[in-house]
């Protein structure tokens, strides 16, 4: 399916309702275009309309953008298209919404929890809990979500 880049609108909710393969074709088309395609921000009543945003769809562009925080800021709402008002950054903020040097400082603190040893401990714990859940399935309801899936996160979280 060949798409014209002019027909792609990442801001339009209908784009995100398209079938998976159509969305992938759209991103493939964006990756084949030179530069970083720009999109208008949606008109949202509670947040002033901003200057628009760029779609970073290629790895090389992501690496370059990551090296230029003065030009590409995450701290203004990387998880949403509209820029949040400054007073909401702390409330809704997370690491993905931080720029250096604060991002680097927090990353150094939390990175210890993602060492290969810690990940292996987590994996071992999840496997142990999953084994116990499956072993106790006799007489269950037959509803996978109720009998297995809903129980795994709650029991695995106490690691």
pLDDT over 70 (residue 143): yes
d(CA 83, CA 156): 35
pLDDT of 158 reads 55
Between 17 and 79, whose confidence is greater? 17
| CA-derived radius of gyration, the chain | 21
Residue 126: burial class (beta carbons within 10 Å; 0-12, 13-18, 19+): middle
Return all residues near 41 (Cβ < 8 A) that are at least 6 apart: 11, 49, 50, 51, 52, 53, 81, 82
3-state secondary structure of 5: helix
pLDDT over 60 (residue 1): no
d(CA 159, CA 140): 26
pTM, two decimals, is 0.60
pLDDT of 31 reads 95
pLDDT of 103 reads 84
pLDDT over 70 (residue 101): yes
Per-residue DSSP letter, 145: I
């Amino acid at each position: 399916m060949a798409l014209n880049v002019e027909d792609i609108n990442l801001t339009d909710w209908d784009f995100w309702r398209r079938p998976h393969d159509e969305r992938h074709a759209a991103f493939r088309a964006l990756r084949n275009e030179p530069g970083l395609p720009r999109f208008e921000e949606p008109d949202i009543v509670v947040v002033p309309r901003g200057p628009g945003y760029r779609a970073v769809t290629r790895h090389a562009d992501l690496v370059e953008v990551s090296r230029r925080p003065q030009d590409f800021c995450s701290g203004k709402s990387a998880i949403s298209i509209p820029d949040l008002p400054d007073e909401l950054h702390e409330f809704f903020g997370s690491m993905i919404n931080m720029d250096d040097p604060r991002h680097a400082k927090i990353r150094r603190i939390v990175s210890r929890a993602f060492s290969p040893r810690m990940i292996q401990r987590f994996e071992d714990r999840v496997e142990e809990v999953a084994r116990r859940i499956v072993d106790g399935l006799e007489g269950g309801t037959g509803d996978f979500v109720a009998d297995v899936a809903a129980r795994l996160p709650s029991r695995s979280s106490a690691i």
